Amino acid sequence: MKTVYLTLVFLTVSGLVILCCSRDKEPLVSYTHPSSWMNVKSDEFHGKKVVEISYSSCKSCHGTSLDGGKSGVSCFKCHQIYPHSSKWVELASAGFHGNYIRGENWSMQDCKPCHGNDYRGGQSQKSCYDCHTGSQGPETCNVCHGSQANAAPPEDLNNRTSTSEITIGAHQIMISNFVATNENLTIKNVCSVCHQLPGSISQAGHIDTTPHAEVLSSLGWDRNKRTCANSCHGEEEHVWNNFK
Ligand code: HEC
Ligand code: HEC
Ligand code: HEC
Ligand code: HEC
Ligand code: HEC
Ligand code: HEC
């Protein structure tokens, strides 16, 4: 009798233990987020929570990769690019944020809901200016092409640097010659000798859907021959990417 009694007690206790533990493991049954979880203006907004405490705590239900897990709701359902992967800041990686922006034909609209329309951080509290320290942040002229010296290639738009590339060619030789020999030309306006010079990235004629940069038609740029028919060089025919 005593053994039966003890067994019963043991079973009841372990039953309770199992029940409690399994409750702890499966809290989703009755789990709901606050009603204003999706309200951007609320203090309980999930984005605000993530910025405050990071997203580690979301992983227990939304999965270690935050693609759903047992909650069945992936963060990527609404945010294609957030949470950012570790590759997002790895320069050499295909998943680098610059490559994503290139793939969007250089549009940075996708970043603004979180990083702010002015890129100064917004609710994400991570400013693009932390790394893009130029006066216009990520819209500064040498962020996508050029170098510290000026915004002309190298680098070209695909981060290449060889002057034998048609996209790079004699840019730097020509620019220093022009600036040195013409008092009206400065590093800021010298581009307008050959291009329509944009005042901002969104100016019409700048980033478009044509495959290559536009050269002023008056120069008679011939992309196959890589020369300018109406150049200042007289009879000599200079090849843009084989400049001697
Ligand atoms: C204990 C489990 C659990 C945790 C932890 C958890 N979630 Fe959830 N979450 C769920 C479940 C279940 C749903 C789907 C049902 C619902 O909307 O409540 C969900 C839904 C969501 C939704 C969609 C809401 C909607 O109305 O469409 C968002 C956004 C969300 N979670 C964000 C987060 C964030 C951010 C964190 C971490 C700060 C987090 N969750 C932590 C279980 C969890
Ligand atoms: C942690 C530092 C860091 C932050 C924060 C950062 N970037 Fe970058 N970004 C870089 C680096 C490094 C490069 C590569 C620069 C280079 O190629 O010389 C880069 C490149 C870029 C490029 C050019 C891509 C290319 O291949 O030419 C764009 C556009 C860009 N970032 C936009 C943004 C925007 C928009 C934000 C904010 C939402 C941002 N970045 C935040 C570090 C950062
Ligand atoms: C859904 C919100 C959201 C969107 C959309 C978003 N970000 Fe972020 N980003 C954040 C938050 C929050 C952080 C702060 C750190 C973290 O949680 O990763 C951050 C951090 C970063 C960092 C710094 C990462 C590091 O490890 O230092 C870079 C760079 C960045 N974002 C670039 C971008 C760019 C470029 C875009 C647009 C193409 C973009 N982000 C879109 C929310 C977002
Ligand atoms: C049902 C759609 C939905 C889901 C699922 C979702 N979010 Fe969001 N999240 C939003 C919206 C809407 C915003 C407001 C910004 C915007 O328009 O992109 C936002 C903003 C954010 C922000 C930025 C806060 C800010 O304003 O800078 C972070 C961080 C964030 N979400 C993290 C997460 C994480 C982590 C998950 C998954 C656990 C998640 N979200 C799942 C819709 C969603
Ligand atoms: C977000 C990336 C990005 C930034 C920032 C940027 N550019 Fe560009 N730029 C491009 C792209 C892409 C092209 C090639 C456009 C095309 O296909 O015609 C280009 C081309 C050019 C050209 C060649 C002529 C043309 O329009 O095709 C000049 C000149 C130029 N940019 C100047 C500037 C100046 C000046 C700034 C700063 C006000 C600037 N860029 C900032 C992406 C950028
Ligand atoms: C002597 C004429 C000349 C000058 C001056 C000049 N460019 Fe160019 N630029 C070209 C030619 C030619 C190309 C190649 C066009 C093509 O691919 O068909 C080009 C291409 C470009 C490209 C596209 C690179 C790519 O990856 O496709 C950018 C960006 C650019 N120039 C920016 C500038 C900027 C910024 C300045 C001023 C600082 C400048 N250029 C000055 C002639 C010039």
Q: Is 118 a residue whose pLDDT tops 50?
A: yes
Mean pLDDT of 1-30: 46
Q: In Å, how far are 110, 141, 179 from 132, measured between CA atoms? A: 17, 11, 27
Q: Is 117 a residue whose pLDDT tops 90?
A: yes
Largest CA distance in the chain: 117
Atom of ligand 4 nearest to the CA of 123: 27
- Tell me which residue has its CA closest to atom 3 in ligand 5: 144
More confident residue, 169 or 17: 169
More confident residue, 20 or 202: 202
Instruction: Report the percentage of the chain scoring pLDDT > 70.
Output: 85
Residue 196 has a pLDDT of 96
- Tell me which residue has its CA closest to atom 22 in ligand 4: 47
Chain centroid, CA 115 distance in Å: 11
Mean pLDDT of 203-231: 91
Q: Is 202 a residue whose pLDDT tops 60?
A: yes
| Mutation choice for ligand 2 from 143, 148, 159, 207, CB with most ligand atoms inside 8 A | 143
Closest ligand to Cα 102: 2
- Tell me which residue has its CA closest to atom 17 in ligand 2: 159
Distance CA(46)–CA(36), nearest Å, equals: 8
Q: Could you check whether the bond before residue 138 is cis, i.e. omega within 30 degrees of 0?
A: no
Distance CA(97)–CA(106), nearest Å, equals: 11
Per-residue model confidence as pLDDT tens digits over 17-44: 444 444 445 444 456 899 999 999 999 9
* 70 alpha carbon – ligand 6 mean position (Å): 52
Whether the CB-CB separation of 209 and 203 falls below 8 Å is answered with: no
Residue 114 has a pLDDT of 95
Residue 235 has a pLDDT of 62
- Tell me which residue has its CA closest to atom 12 in ligand 6: 215
Closest ligand to Cα 41: 4
Instruction: Report the percentage of the chain scoring pLDDT > 90.
Output: 80
Residue 83 has a pLDDT of 95
Residue 14 has a pLDDT of 47
Residue 231 has a pLDDT of 74
* 63 alpha carbon – ligand 3 mean position (Å): 20
Give 244's pLDDT tier (boundaries 50, 70, 90): low
Q: Is 54 a residue whose pLDDT tops 70?
A: yes
Residue 211 has a pLDDT of 87
Residue 160 has a pLDDT of 96
Atom of ligand 4 nearest to the CA of 55: 35
Q: In Å, how far are 178, 226, 228 from 220, measured between CA atoms? A: 19, 10, 5
Per-residue model confidence as pLDDT tens digits over 63-90: 999 999 999 999 999 999 999 999 999 9
Chain centroid, CA 215 distance in Å: 28
Residue 16 has a pLDDT of 43
Q: In the structure, which protein residues have their CB atom closer than 6 angstroms to any atom of ligand 1? A: 27-28, 31-33, 37-38, 46, 49-50, 55, 57-58, 60-62, 71, 73
- Tell me which residue has its CA closest to atom 15 in ligand 3: 126
Q: What is the mean pLDDT of the chain?
A: 88
- Tell me which residue has its CA closest to atom 10 in ligand 2: 131
Chain centroid, CA 96 distance in Å: 7
Q: Nearest Cα to 145, choosing from 186, 201, 95?
A: 201
Give 238's pLDDT tier (boundaries 50, 70, 90): confident
Distance CA(164)–CA(243), nearest Å, equals: 9
